[in-house]
Amino acid sequence: MQLNYYKEPFEKFLTTYEEVGYVEILSYPVIYASGLPNVKVREVVMFDDGSLGYVTSLDKEYVEILLFSKDGLRIGSKIARTGNVLEIPVGEELLGTSITPLGFSIYEGYPAKRKADFRPIDIHALDISYREKITEPVETGVALVDLLIPLGKGQREMIVGDRKTGKTEFLLQTMLSQAKKGTICIYAAIGKKKIDIKKVENFFVRNGIIENSIIVATSSSDALGLVYLTPYSAMSIAEYFRDLGRDVLLILDDMSTHAKFYREISLLSKRFPGRSSYPGDIFYTHSRLLERAGNFKHPSGKPVSITCLPVAESIEGDISGYIQTNLMSITDGHVYFDKDLFANGRRPAINYFLSVTRVGRQTQSQIRWGVNRELNSFLTLLEKTQSFIHFGAELNEGIRSTLSMGEHVLAFFDQPMDKVISINMQIVLFGMIWLGFFKSETNERIQFITQLSIEKYRSDQKFKEKIDKLISDATDFNNLLGSLSIKKDEILSFYQL
């Protein structure tokens, strides 16, 4: 089906369907119209000023239409059917662009360059017969997540936390890591400030990944109908690239804002409010969207995935809110950003004790399993030790050793937002800290060594080959520790320590 309502005039549709509707009740962004007896739910309609609307429900007297513009209509405005469901133009030409949910450039205001390929915005998710088990890991480049809260390709992982706790920075790091591996990265900015959208675009340009990325954006000043469509349009674009055999990383930032805008639309539509005034179908609305992500079969024989990271905002650290718990039950886990950790200077401020990954661990190798097990055990011990010394207990040698190692591990986990660490480098670097290679170093030196490792792994081919060989030759984490002990002097010589 070709999307013709972008280029055909209003009179063409009046002639085609011989139905003339009129605006009867106007309550932005919802209007009620009469005179369209054969219109269908989810059909696009056009108004006499050229603006578009979307049929959301029908009753005996009126047709309820969601508007995609903020003004210009009046009581009595004419309406024409288009005969099409709501679609978005898709194609490889979208790579490197920033568009609205209807496919227009957010700068020029006209449709982005594209082929005649279109995707419905709101469709049913593929059933289980099209899906594959999640087996491939997603490297975020953030050591704390990759080693403690691993993610898999096709996983839906909620990112939750208070405002200004580093959620967007983590998402940008993840996109940077994945885009460099050839994954298509789609960032859906839902009702964000225009300056925040521009910052994301500048990040893509600065790091050279803009040609592998797409931004689908609406600002808080856009029409409510457009803001509501944003995640659906982004998901449809992701499905287009999935069908081409390309893995996709989809960021939905954020679903709490989406729920608020949908609540406003529902209340203006006179729908019965439920808990916290949200509409009764808010769970269905979000689950219908997020179920479209996953790991899928492909004719090429190689599974292809849409990895989805929806964001939810908490208030004062409360993750038991209505929308947050809804998303928890839809997704495969969550990463929790703690405002107290952020205030204490931790970057990223992730509380790993309150974070969950339900399917990511099944993608781990034996070495990563060993690292995860050792880290979980040690961090639990560190938490208990820190609680214990609050009672004024004397610090014996064992407690001092645990606290010192804890400081070094936490210093290793701190990393700048524009830096990503390869998983092999993460494992080897943690093994070196675990064996006490840098026992006499300060926390600042540990962070310097971590940054030096990132740069040497990226620029020094000989060093990279040495690290990769250590990982490929090891059968498990203990075996890797043995190899590191034997080659300690050789590895440290790279650092000139």
Kind of pairing, strands 304-313 and 294-296?
A: antiparallel
Place of tokens 């490929």: 472
Tell me the CA distances in angstroms from 141 to 170, 351, 360, 420, one per residue in order.
Answer: 9, 17, 15, 4
Tell me which residue of 420, 421, 441 sits closest to 495, measured CA to CA: 441
Do 79 and 47 form a contact (C-beta atoms < 8 A)? yes
DSSP symbol at 320: -
Tell me which residue of 292, 227, 232 sits closest to 262, measured CA to CA: 227
Examine residue 254 and say whether the peptide bond preceding it is cis (omega within 30 degrees of 0): yes
Burial class (CB in 10 A: 0-12, 13-18, 19+), 59: exposed
Tell me which residue of 28, 213, 186 sits closest to 101, measured CA to CA: 186
Which amino acid is it at 215?
A: I
The residue from 131, 288, 347, 358 that is catalytic is 358
Tell me how crowded residue 315 is: count the other CB atoms within 10 A of its CB: 11
- Apex CA 13: angle with CA 7 and CA 14, to 5°? 145
Q: Could you confirm whether 373 is annotated as catalytic?
A: no
Which residues are registered as beta bridge partners of 192?
219
Which residues are registered as beta bridge partners of 158?
334
Known catalytic residues are 358
